[in-house]
Chain A
Amino acid sequence: MEDGKLSLDLLMGLSIFLFTFIFVANFLPGVFADVRNEINLANQAYRISTLLVEDPGYSSSWYNITEDRCRTEEFRPGLAVYDLETGVKYNNLSVEKIQAFARLLNNTTCIERVRFYLGLNLSTLGGQVFRFNVSLKNLAGDLVTYNRSVLLNHGDKIPVTQVVRFERIVYLDKWADNCNVTIEGQNVAIADRCVAKLEVSVWI
């Protein structure tokens, strides 16, 4: 009689152990390696910002592409000024190109083309689709305006989730409204240039 009980006892002990373990095992994954998107994001942010700041884009007249032609043309945006003689002027952004870029990002079809040609969308192969947003701010941190209209603050809408941002310091080839800075009270331009900050944000 008592002996019978005993075995039940053991049974209980074992099952407790078993269930605890299975429980642990099941929630382990959360504890273990989680997916680290920031690696990709960081790289993409770096890559896009570099392409924008140090490359004139393709073709030489990509910034003439209108919203209706962005679907048919092959192009890659790049904001750097390009001089036929001396080549690319690094960190020197063309206002004209910036405006074109903004225009394309505003258009729902074009933004997808841009995304594709920038290499941010390989979903057809099975890769991730990256969302991005580009903005141009002056050193004080407010958006740069040209003829009182914001030059560049376009792309996908920035969410609350993990976002990686990469900044570049650039200067424009035309004089924007608010690219001067105030040093000791007076309002000057750094190195006689319209210096600004290009921010590229990338997320999933």
Chain B
Amino acid sequence: MPRIVEDEKGVSLLIEYLILMGVMSVFVVVMSLQLHETLTESQVSRVMENQFADVASQVSAIYTDYILLMPSEGQIVTRISMLPEIGNRQYNLKMDLYENVGYVHLSSGSIESYMGLGYKKFLRTGGVIEIRPGGEVLSSKAESKDQPKVVYKKEEACPFVPKIRVSFDPSSVEFNNFTNMTVSFENEITEPVIWRIDFWNGSSLSDVSYGGVYRTQIQITDITGCTQKPSSSNDYLCTVTAKAWIHNRVSCNSSVNNTLLVSTTPKLSNPYLVYEKWIEPNLVRRGEPFEVHLKLEGRGFVVEGLANLSVVHVIDVSGSMIWPTIFKDYKKTVTPNVISRTITLNEKGNLEIYAYTTDSLPSWYNSTLCKCSNKCPVGYDSSLIKLYVNGTEASTVYQDGSAIGKRYTNKNAPNGDYTIEVVAAAPEQINITLKVVFKGKEILNETVPYSNYVVESFTLPGGVNYKFLAIYNITNLPSLSYTQWNSSWNRIEYYTVDGQPRYWEYTSRLCGSSAFSQGTLNVWLILPDGSKDFLMKGSGSAWYQARNNYGINGIYADVFIVDPRVGEYRFVIVPISKNPVTFQATALIKRIDAAKLAGITFNSMLGEKDFVGLTNFTTDAQRIAVNSSPLRFMTTDKSFVNNLINQMRAELATDHADGLYYGSRVFPVWNEGGNNCTDCIKDTRPLLIMLTDGEPTICNSNNDPNKYYGCFADCSNCTGGSWCEPCKNQALCIANYLKNFKINDFNVSICTIGFSTDISGQGQQFLRQLASLRPDNNEPCYFFATTSDELVNAYKTIFNAFQIAAKNISVQEAVNVSIISPFDFIDARVVSSKGSPVSITVESRNESTVIRLNMSSIQKDEVVELILKLKAKDEAPTGEYDVNIDSESYIEYTVLDYRGQESGRITLPIISDKDKVRIVTGDQPEIIIR
């Protein structure tokens, strides 16, 4: 065999080496190609799929459980556990919707996996809800401290929040006695509301309300759970909680507390303050407003003894009391109810517009209602309806059978818009038809129920026999021309004083050849007996005229009623054109009648244990016997006194000194025969109320130290016609004596009321000096009244001034409103149930806003409510927030004992568990991964 090389060994070694290397390299190449692929890639991808399936299943399971719990409102959070990385790869988890079907998606590079969750909408009590799945998270988050979570979130926003109120009458009860509980709602209830009252002793009461008021009487026999009032062994504060929520919307709720004062021995119970604070609504969307309520209430008892009054009315019956005074005064703009339609014509052509009605109103438009029968538009004519086309009135009468109204025609109306307005003088509902015909084709034909009137009313309270009621300067009425005054006058009243006659008389117009002319208003006055009076002018001026022989020689009235019935008087006011019109009217009664009314009203406020006496004064004063010896001039029988008040009449000049003196002599404490019985009015508090309309004009000279409490006077220059200084001085002297004189160790209090037209007169100055200081605010107990209302209010104020529960109250309320807080301040207002004045200041600091209230006093059963309007900022984060800064909020007031004596000042912090508000988005629910 031939050989290629000689030295075989060397060759073989070389070849061997080469081959070896070759094989190695192949091996390495294969290794590197194969291994990674087969041993890692394919493996990891499978493992990933499985892990993905695991995580997806987890999320899906949680999702399923969520939607099957799905609280109407609330939040569920669940942690997901997932491997931070699979085969050292991270991956991504997310939830989303595909064609309204939710799904979970996991992905890492090219490896993906999906898991369906099902259709997104669900039924729930209160409607359909739509789940919004979403959110995304990276696996690496799994090892961070906030693990990935699945979160369900649903926040409810309310259509309204039922503002429940619970109140007690009386709010202070003796143990074992009864009180009336009233449950009501402050706002309109548009959906059924469930309410529940929890009583102090654990019992509760609950019902469904559709907006009505619920009343019940409860007897206080169980005070378990009531808190004993600090520093008084026999008073208990019993609290009820009232809660209300919309049926099926529990989170739309509100609750208030009310405290009932229960005393085992009310006689020794000191008056005091209770407060209650809450927020309404306590659930708002961003940007929505809400209210913070702080309610202060004066509590206490007026029972046997100390707090009772012995009142003497000292009423001026001088001549000028015969004059008239304003009883009510109206001025308001009446806006007509206008039917307005717009039609558009695309081409020009024949346009006809009809506005008519087929109804008729005989009870309103009727010749017998007319001051001059058959001079007014009889029954019912076309003047009732007014038609305006593009603002201009179309006055053509349209009448067709029973249809009557107005019509507008335009043979070739240009194309464009036409505004049609219809007004009818309809004091009750009628049907009005509006018809539009264009080119013989009806393009509009509608019949709408329509009425067009405003009602104003006032009430003449009972108890007084009013001599007359006159109403004057009513404007814009229709008028009858050529109406002369009737020359014969009718007497209303006539009497003589010291031979001088005193009388009132009135006359009215005669119809003559009168002609009717429309005004811009039709006004009917509906009397308490239901009869209507269609008001008109005569010759453009008033229809009636009245006068007396003591300075008033002509008041011109549109209505004049002699011996008017008590009850409600209603004006029905109908504008007859499309323009707003002013209605005004002024009602008058006699001053003396107003005075009687005021006095009687005051008496009606008194309790049955209060005593009343009566003195009237003019040139001389006289006490009026209302009872029998030894207590001749005082009684607890108010109605008897009221009758006497009713018989008073205006007489002569004015002697305040005499009035005051005899007023004080009414008290049975001066050991005088037949009127000497201090014990009869034991424990009561003496009060003199002097009502006068004038200035001192006369007095009785006195230099006897035993008369007029030693107040001298030389009255030689006082004639009764003009200002009488000696009378003033004497009166002040007497007043001064009385103020320092004690009955039942109360100083005699004097309150004065100036009933006139000129507050600046020196008479008023004098009255102010006469008055003693009010117990509630230490101001002079003096009032000025021009109208009957003011007079009545003056008396009410006097009454209340002797009923106070606390003095010098100052409230500081700090709310969490600032740049950083989630709330904005809108406004603050405060209201007192008895109209007592409250000063309010708002100060915004950089971390809070402080509201301060100041009141001189709060009376028993007076409710003072502070209402702060706040708003959740638009960007406010959702969640629950404290609105108040309790540490800075407090009430401070002067405490009174049961004798009305001041006994120190106390401060109570304002703390409430109901002063939280929750801000929500009110969105559909979402289930998200985060």
Contact = CB atoms under 8 A, between A and B. Distances in A.
Q: Do any CB atoms of chain A lie under 8 A from CB atoms of chain B in the complex?
A: yes
Contacts of A124: 98
Given A10-B16, A43-B57, A76-B121, A29 B116 contact: no
Contacts of B443: none
B98 A7 contact: no
A56 interface: yes
A69 interface: no
Interface stretch (B45-53, B320-328, B552-560): B45-53
Nearest to B49: A35
B820 interface: no
A186 interface: no
Interface stretch (A101-109, A113-121, A140-148, A188-196): A113-121
Give the most central of B38, B65, B67: most A CB within 10 Å.
B38
A22 interface: yes
A190 B800 CA distance: 73
Nearest to B117: A119
A119 B104 CA distance: 10
B53 A36 contact: yes
Contacts, number: 155
A33 B67 CA distance: 34
Contacts of A33: 43, 46-47, 50
A40 B112 contact: no
Contact of B34 (A22, A34, A84): A22
B57 A50 contact: no
B94 to A, nearest CB: 12
A119 B63 CA distance: 12
For chain B, give the interface size range. 35 or more
A1 B8 CA distance: 7
Interface stretch (A11-19, A152-160, A165-173): A11-19
Most buried by A among B42, B43, B68: B68
Nearest to B58: A43
A29 B40 CA distance: 10
Nearest to B100: A74
B30 interface: yes
Interface stretch (B122-130, B522-530, B604-612): B122-130
B115 A121 contact: no
A25 interface: yes
A136 B116 CA distance: 24
A155 B34 CA distance: 45
A55 B64 CA distance: 10
B64 A3 contact: no
A26 B38 contact: yes
B103 A25 contact: no
Dominant SS among interface residues on chain B: helix
Interface string B454-479: 00000000000000000000000000
A34 B46 contact: yes
A128 B115 CA distance: 8
A82 interface: yes
A85 B102 CA distance: 28
Given A43-B115, A119-B118, A25 B57 contact: no
Contact of B64 (A40, A50, A58, A87): A50
Contact of A25 (B9, B34, B53, B115): B34
B43 A32 contact: yes
A58 B122 contact: yes
A183 interface: no
Contacts of B35: 25
A7 B119 contact: no
A199 interface: no
B13 interface: yes
Contacts of A4: 8, 12, 15-16
A59 B64 contact: no
Contacts of B103: 119, 122, 125, 127
A3 B16 contact: yes
Interface of A: 1, 3-4, 6-7, 10-11, 14-15, 18, 22, 25-26, 28-29, 32-37, 39-40, 42-44, 46-47, 50-51, 54-60, 74-76, 82, 84-88, 116-122, 124-128
20 contacts: A1-B12, A7-B19, A10-B16, A11-B19, A11-B23, A22-B34, A28-B39, A35-B46, A36-B53, A56-B123, A58-B123, A58-B128, A74-B119, A84-B125, A86-B125, A87-B125, A116-B101, A122-B114, A125-B103, A125-B114
Given A3-B12, A87-B125, A125-B98, 5 more contacts: A29-B38, A29-B43, A60-B123, A119-B103, A119-B118
Interface of B: 8-9, 12-13, 15-16, 19-20, 23-24, 26-27, 30, 34-35, 38-39, 42-43, 46-47, 49-50, 53-54, 56-57, 60-61, 64-65, 67-68, 98-103, 105, 112-119, 121-125, 128
